[in-house]
Chains A and B, each alone.
Chain A
């Protein structure tokens, strides 16, 4: 394939342990169970041909079909030199990695990050990152679930998913085949390796990337903080990964909360 590296040996070099399953409930659940019940050499990669109960953030579920790329990487943050304060930024770093990995199919200016963990194209969701933190007997582990609609047939999806999702196959600049999922997986893993290294040293280039890919910038946003909703205008993602929200001329960084998709509330 033009512009795309040929697949390498099946264990990507960054990965120490690789678990492949045909069908699982959720790769994140399996990865969590693995790292908390035994001493697994990390990074651990868990992939599955299909998930029956994929999870999104909070109580959301993640709809997928056999054309979706869903996998989980578990890492030992200390081994990558990540400080606890840097850990939440792993989702942003991973999002940057995913967008770089699919650059051969989708021009980088067509994909962006919807803070903090969604990958979007043209206002529709192409993928997402679900970061979770697990305390284990062997130390803390970060479990990163990554879902990407590669060859997904959205026509079979529920209406809400159809309204907000996109699949790479439908928009890719180059033809895409079902087995390209493995290439993309390898590319993402490779990019994730370097993104984590940049994150560990707080390299400003990484922050520049997520700031550049920010799709909410200068958009009116409503941020659900659990106890209330804060309205304002998004003013970028800062180096610490916080979403800057301007209200009444005052810019406040937000690390938590959910940016509401107001255009969908009428659905």
Chain B
């Protein structure tokens, strides 16, 4: 026979490419065929010539069209056809048609295809060759008594198999006789559809079976060798998943017996070309049985090639042109010339979703990064970035074969390769493959064909992070829609993040206050504080300073970036206030970050300075009273996470409301700082309520309750220098505890209060670094330190370090310009109205919303009047808000304080006012004015009990479970506490993290304003793992209201689609039905809701109509699939819905 010069591959995908490769090496010109649907497929481009066969709408038929393929081959001067596997590879008619047209068919003789393609005939050949076969029916079976007789004789379980074909189609395992007829019927139907011949027969089914197959290679001169075996036991639904060569952990004598049996069959039928004899090995009895012969190249031929070094496809082509095995081109003169070296195994990466019953996934591959390196072989098809996976063909993306001298080496190599792959846009089975190769049974070579079915842990997958895609989605979202509540200034210029002060990261931070505290414990440490000569200082920059100046908006990232430097250049700071107050709420609600994570990160970087937080007594870090167990658990957890000092206060200075917290802090072994809120003016003889004696009484009470320090919390900046001096001196004399002074510089004179305090023994003062101090914030630390220089109370802090920190924060502050208030100078009215600094702007906004902006001075005046009307109370969150609400109420209704007491008037007081007077926030000193209380409560009962006492304990375990559900992954105790404290905010945070991952790592300018076009932005997602993100362009809006945002990620193009919320009010982002939840009914197609037949609360029968959707005049009715109760109807008549949109929620009855 003359040499083949032009070879056509009647196949597609990876096997077509595989054949082209060997043909090319043999110097043969290659021809591809492709269907219309495959016109962009890779195999078309890998051949020297490529021609379309068939027409649109014939994705499969095109490759089965014998007439058209032969005609094309003749027309193009093809002299040989390789059929690959599947399609026409085992079709004797095709082999004959080739022969009749004078074209070489690269495969065995047509008569062999006839015999071996028919499993019944093949079994009799095996029997003739003396090879054991599995007992079964000799004739095809039909449902009915004959089949039952055969099955009973074999004994259950039996397997129903198609006479033709393979690939698992037309196969059913039947466990008992009642399922037999149906299984035969189904298998016949499947076989009929798949192979055109519905014949099926029965076989005994072996429970613990291994699938071992032997590779044969024979020439046309009667020579035949085996190339050892492959273990293909790892199967899913009779589809091979992993194939190993040679079989690992197979007894050598058994191996010899199986290979010898395969050769016997091959010789008996005078097999030529490449073929595989499949056996079932009973793992329990070591008996093996012939299954079938596959007269073609197989998907898993790769692993045999690797361990034997024989190019099977090349050999196939040479054999087809009559070359004998002994020819040097094939070089297999004897069985002895075949040797194996090491182990190889193959995984098939498919676009099937293992988490969703291996449903094939289609679409565009948005990103494809391949594996490579030593000991790896890749046989790929459509796997490229931008490649399309169509629904017409099997979902094989690439075959990965790994090899090694030992089996375990090959497994490690495969694990490495699978981890190296990054495939985005379509789901793949990689997580499943990783689970399989990591399983001890696989590593030990113990897998049987039921391994996958019987090993449920293979289906437990780690949540895929895919942070890059999620972060890009966030960047796209901000680019298109902006950050909620933040307007990008028209003259916005790119801002860069400031660099932290210079420091030596290699040296450990010097020890500081925290090490002393840990050494001494709370009591001794408290005594140590009192003995210090220098004034000790607390830095509030990380909490109260930005809470007061920037609405608590400073992000964790900007704190963490300075933390390493801080610990090293400023180790003499007494404490850093960095948690509590509004930070917990704002971090979650606005900044979308986990406050616990902030605490943990700062703690790790600043191990040497005390961390302190502000705790709102029974309100913890929230705005309402929480059950005692929540407060206790919160304190315990916060202390464990790194809080050393808890400053506990009550908004009415009501000590009973502080007790649970104080106790919890002491139990946690932390420093317990009990705070007294300062109000009024203790020097004013006209206001005796809050006089010196009042504060001393309270301080003594707190000392008795175990406080380690006493804080004077001057939240409104009312504690003027002379008053501060009196108060501090008296308290220090009267109680044996250190005094910690906290004030806000609203009036502009508060540094003086600190200094006067320092003169009379103040132990610790709060301040903020200069660039974050003044006005509503704390006095400047830099100023305090400088002012005390060369005095007895001179601080140990390094002025130069404070200047560097101030520079850092100055630049950070510039990133938050959007949150600055308009306040330019100290307040003139602070002493007149006694309004806390943080409330001033809020109340003004509220007044504006009510149309009272022009009457603002009246509102301020009313605020002061209301305070007196309420009996002169402490005004701090949340009591200050109640006073503000009442002030607005008076101004809006043109009422005077006296009017509120007028029995002739019927007034509807604001709800917050009613709650205050009910005692729900606690009790003020001296109680509420009784006459007003009666007017406000109108007969409702007031309580004098502690509000938290009446609350039932919260279920922490249930909260943790709920947090887990919200996060879609494991939740911690801390998540559970976040959820309990902020039940409405935490779900939003969880949803944010699930959509965008942890965005706290995103640089602040990008977080609020999105990336600037054409600028390379670096986002470090973990140490040493940095994404390079560049925004390229913003697409035009699509009809559905979405825009495509074009990026470059690590130099590769990426696109993200987001809804442009400024467009199309008609476009709603609607919740999707979870396809795995049978209680969520989603729209099967896009359309118009034309009828809703149920309402929430209805009980529905199975099959009862729920609603109907019309699309292009076709009405689709959705019915209940099982009895249930309607929980929620989201759809309404006239509503346009999209595929998958959630329409109705059911609950089980």
Contact = CB atoms under 8 A, between A and B. Distances in A.
B250 interface: no
Contact of B1111 (A203, A227, A255): A255
A89 interface: yes
A87 B1115 CA distance: 10
B196 to A, nearest CB: 16
A135 B1118 CA distance: 10
A251 B1064 CA distance: 8
A209 B1063 CA distance: 30
Nearest to B390: A201
B761 to A, nearest CB: 70
Nearest to B1139: A85
B1116 interface: yes
B1086 A85 contact: yes
B1137 to A, nearest CB: 8
A208 B416 CA distance: 46
Contacts of A130: 1113
Interface string A239-257: 0111010010011111111
A253 B1113 contact: no
A254 B56 contact: no
Contacts of A228: 1134
B1132 to A, nearest CB: 8
B1136 A254 contact: yes
A99 interface: no
A4 B1109 CA distance: 40
Interface stretch (A26-34, A150-158, A163-171, A192-200): A192-200
B898 interface: no
A132 interface: yes
Contact of B1114 (A131, A203, A240, A250): A131
A240 B58 CA distance: 21
Contacts of B1084: 84-85
Contacts of A57: 1113
Interface string A169-187: 0000000000000000000
A19 interface: no
Interface in A218-249: 225-228, 238, 240-242, 244, 247
A92 interface: yes
A117 B1115 contact: no
Interface residues of B, number: 37
B526 to A, nearest CB: 66
Interface string B1041-1064: 100000000000000000000011
A91 B1113 contact: yes
B1112 A203 contact: no
B828 interface: no
Contacts of A198: 56-57
Nearest to A57: B1113
A256 B1111 CA distance: 5
A110 interface: no
Given A254-B1136, A256-B1136, A197 B57 contact: yes
Given A238-B1039, A256-B1088, A87 B1114 contact: yes
A136 B94 CA distance: 40
Given A85-B1085, A87-B1085, A201 B37 contact: yes
Contacts of B1039: 238, 244, 251-253
A88 interface: yes
B421 interface: no
Most A CB contacts (10 A, CB to CB) among B37, B59, B1087 go to: B1087
B1089 to A, nearest CB: 8
A90 interface: yes
Contact of B1136 (A91, A131, A135, A255): A255
B506 interface: no
B1035 to A, nearest CB: 15
Given A91-B1112, A133-B1115, A250 B1133 contact: no
B1040 interface: yes
Contacts of B1067: 252
B1110 interface: yes
B142 interface: no
A112 to B, nearest CB: 16
Given A197-B57, A253-B1039, A226 B1112 contact: no
A116 interface: yes
Most A CB contacts (10 A, CB to CB) among B1039, B1110, B1112 go to: B1112
A93 B354 CA distance: 35
Interface in A84-134: 84-85, 87-92, 115-117, 129-133
A39 interface: no
Interface string A63-102: 0000000000000000000001101111110000000000
Interface in A34-67: 57
Interface string B1100-1141: 000000000111111111010000000000001110100100
Nearest to B1086: A255
Contacts of B1134: 225-228
Interface residues of A, number: 44
B392 interface: yes
A185 to B, nearest CB: 22
Given A201-B37, A201-B392, A254 B1088 contact: yes
A260 B567 CA distance: 74
Nearest to A227: B1134
A84 B1064 CA distance: 27
Given A252-B1039, A256-B1090, A88 B1114 contact: yes
A131 B1114 CA distance: 5
Given A250-B1063, A255-B1086, A256-B1088, A201 B1112 contact: no
B190 to A, nearest CB: 14
Contacts of A256: 1087-1090, 1109-1112, 1136
A226 B1090 contact: yes
A205 interface: yes
A133 B1108 CA distance: 11
Nearest to B1089: A256
Given A251-B1039, A252-B1039, A257 B1086 contact: no
A132 B1114 contact: yes
Given A85-B1139, A91-B1113, A203 B1085 contact: no
A119 B571 CA distance: 84
B1066 interface: yes
Contacts of B1136: 225, 252, 254-256
Nearest to B392: A201
Nearest to A131: B1114
B1113 A131 contact: yes
Contact of A227 (B1040, B1110, B1133): B1133
A131 to B, nearest CB: 4
Most A CB contacts (10 A, CB to CB) among B1066, B1090, B1116 go to: B1066
Contact of B1064 (A85, A142, A250): A250
Contacts of A91: 1112-1114
A255 B392 contact: no
A227 B1110 CA distance: 14
Most B CB contacts (10 A, CB to CB) among A115, A203, A225, A255 go to: A255
A257 B1134 CA distance: 8
A177 B1065 CA distance: 54
A152 to B, nearest CB: 22
Most B CB contacts (10 A, CB to CB) among A85, A135, A198, A247 go to: A85
B227 to A, nearest CB: 40
Contacts of A253: 1039-1040, 1086
30 contacts: A85-B1084, A85-B1085, A85-B1086, A88-B1087, A88-B1112, A88-B1113, A88-B1114, A89-B1112, A92-B1112, A117-B1112, A132-B1114, A133-B1116, A201-B37, A201-B59, A225-B1088, A225-B1134, A226-B1134, A240-B1086, A250-B1041, A250-B1063, A250-B1064, A250-B1066, A251-B1039, A252-B1039, A253-B1040, A255-B1111, A255-B1136, A256-B1087, A256-B1111, A257-B1088
Given A85-B1085, A242-B1086, A255-B1110, 5 more contacts: A225-B1134, A227-B1132, A251-B1039, A252-B1066, A253-B1040
